[in-house]
Amino acid sequence: MLQAVGFTLIPLLALIIGAVATVWRRPGPGFTSGVQHFAAGVVFAAAASEILPDLKHGTSAWPILVGGIVGIVSMLAIKHFGAKAEGPVAIAAVTGIDIFIDGLVLGISFVAGARQGLLLTLALTVEVLFLGLTLASGFAETMKSRWKVVGLTSAIGLGLPLGALLGGPVGLLPAPLLTAFYAFGLIALLYLVTEELLVEAHEHPDTPLIASMFFVGFLALLMLEELLPQ
């Protein structure tokens, strides 16, 4: 559990770096879209290679179905309230829940093993870096102080270790409940790819190079998985 919490400091640092980069010099749309495609590829590879295989060892299909339904309802609820969010407080609340779920999924991945947790940490680090860019950009529209923008963004990022802290005890649950949590984590990651990263990435015109970054990210994580010791 403490190992998972410690590893959340890596994406938390990426979140802060993204916030700092935004308030001092915001990246252009082409660079941002490329990072979003790359992050989507990395997260998709992590979901397919690290979370999905654990579901195949489940004792029954029912935990997968229940965990998947809970994941779908949770993600759609976040999307619903996120679309209605206005002002820094509302944006902070919705994004904080999103980040907390990222931390929860990370904590669950460490239940499967340190190797799986490490790979998902790297995947979420790229995703959270982009989230820091977006979140700080939204705060900067209503807050004049750069340090307040960075500070508020960093405070929201504390949802990562809190989520990981909650995800750690999942390993002590009975096998059916553990399978349900894996299904929830898989849905959360797939939602992150299809409904957040790629949707926002396509708000700007694509070039072949930008589009290829999805596959670069996907292959990069798969190659890293092969290079890491079993």
One-letter amino acid of 193:
V
**230 residues of the chain, pLDDT tens digit each:** 567 788 888 889 988 988 888 888 777 778 878 888 888 888 888 888 877 776 766 567 888 899 899 999 988 888 877 777 666 666 677 778 878 888 888 887 787 677 777 888 888 888 888 878 777 877 877 777 888 888 888 888 888 898 888 877 876 778 788 888 888 888 888 888 888 788 878 877 788 899 899 999 999 888 887 877 66
Residue 208 lies in a domain: no
The range of the structural domain enclosing residue 52 comes to 2-15+39-201
Residue 162 lies in a domain: yes
The total of structural domains in the chain comes to 1
* pTM attached to this predicted model: 0.80
Residue 217 lies in a domain: no
The predicted structure's pLDDT at residue 1: 58
Query: Half-sphere exposure (CA, 13 Å, Cβ side) for 80?
Result: 6
Residue 71 lies in a domain: yes
The predicted structure's pLDDT at residue 212: 93
Distance CA 74, CA 187 (A): 10
The alpha-helical segments, DSSP class H, found in the chain are 2-7, 9-24, 29-46, 52-55, 61-84, 87-112, 114-140, 146-156, 159-167, 175-191, 198-201, 208-227
Residue 225 lies in a domain: no
Residue 34 lies in a domain: no
Residue 21 lies in a domain: no
